[in-house]
Structure 1
Amino acid sequence: MKPATAAKKLDVYLPATPAEFQKTAITRDELAALQADPPQWLQELRKNGPHPKNLVAAKLGVSIAGLARGGVTEALTTEEIDVLLADKPDWLVSERESYQNVLREERRLKAVRSEQAAEK
């Protein structure tokens, strides 16, 4: 598989991976080996980042679109995420609230659909 696909499956930011990883196709067996026994560089990336946007959004409790609206366009490190969580800028508070509202509505709709399916 392409390095970008492997990085996505490993939940790491591709540009932060070693050059060899970025330039070499990864087999499924190699991916499984990396997941089972991650090398030091992979452990460090997972712990300290920089993290891909999907993980940054999850750690901040917002959507990826919410990150963009908040001006976050680059990958963030764990330290940078912790600073945002401690400072709680206005955009983050607003986006977290909005994201929770969306999740609540999705759960409500799922319950309604489930009830409708049970009635049939």
Structure 2
Amino acid sequence: MAGTPFSQQVLKPMNAAKKLGVYLPATPPEFQEHGITRAQLEELETNPPEWLADLRRNGPHPRPVVAGRLGISIAGLARGGITEPLTTEQIDELRDDPPAWLLAERETAAKVREEEDRVAAEAARKAEKAARRSR
């Protein structure tokens, strides 16, 4: 039994919106109501229509995009009381005049990245040591 070719696999609207980095309720009704194939998704990424370019530029943006633009985690957004999508203008306002919670979350995110880097460097060092021993 042959499966559907990869490019013809249909993605649900929610998954397609996640892959495109857009907030599903802000997309056109036809996008929300019908799945799209991986080939169509690739076409949207390569040649975004005006609605997609506008959403990416102005929002509203889904939480992963908001968190990324603010340099914090999604959990940090929730701790800061941000549970709804934000527009680019709202994100810029937060960046221009960051509240105390955002500064604290940025500090936390920086510490997490430092620890992840330290752990990765340690793992690389151990792997290199093991590779030298096996020669």
TM-score range, shorter chain: over 0.9
Deviations 1:43-93 (A, max 9, x none): 000000011111100100100000000000011000000000111100000
Question: Which residue, 118, 123, 127 being the options, matches 1:108?
Answer: 118
1:117 aligns with 2:127: yes
Match of 2:90 in 1: 80
Where does the alignment leave 5 or more consecutive residues of structure 1 unmatched?
Answer: none
Match of 1:32 in 2: 42
| Structure 1 length-normalised TM | 0.98
Report the Cα offset of residue 5 of structure 1: 0.8
> For the residues of structure 2 that align with 1:28 and 1:111, how far apart are their CA atoms?
36
3-state DSSP of counterpart to 1:7:
helix
> For the residues of structure 2 that align with 1:35 and 1:88, how far apart are their CA atoms?
32
Identity of aligned residues (%): 57
Match of 1:18 in 2: 28
3-state DSSP of counterpart to 1:62:
coil
> For the residues of structure 1 that align with 2:98 and 2:38, how far apart are their CA atoms?
40
Report the Cα offset of residue 33 of structure 1: 1.3
Match of 1:61 in 2: 71
> For the residues of structure 2 that align with 1:37 and 1:11, how far apart are their CA atoms?
15
Match of 2:60 in 1: 50
| Structure 2 length-normalised TM | 0.87
> For the residues of structure 2 that align with 1:73 and 1:66, how far apart are their CA atoms?
10
Q: Which has the larger radius of gyration?
A: 2
Report the Cα offset of residue 23 of structure 1: 0.2
Report runs of 4+ in structure 1 exceeding 6 Å deviation: none
> For the residues of structure 1 that align with 2:122 and 2:46, how far apart are their CA atoms?
40
Report the Cα offset of residue 104 of structure 1: 0.3
> For the residues of structure 2 that align with 1:36 and 1:109, how far apart are their CA atoms?
36
Q: Which amino acid aligns with 1:36?
A: T
Aligned residues: 120
Q: Which amino acid aligns with 1:49?
A: G
Q: Which amino acid aligns with 1:60?
A: L
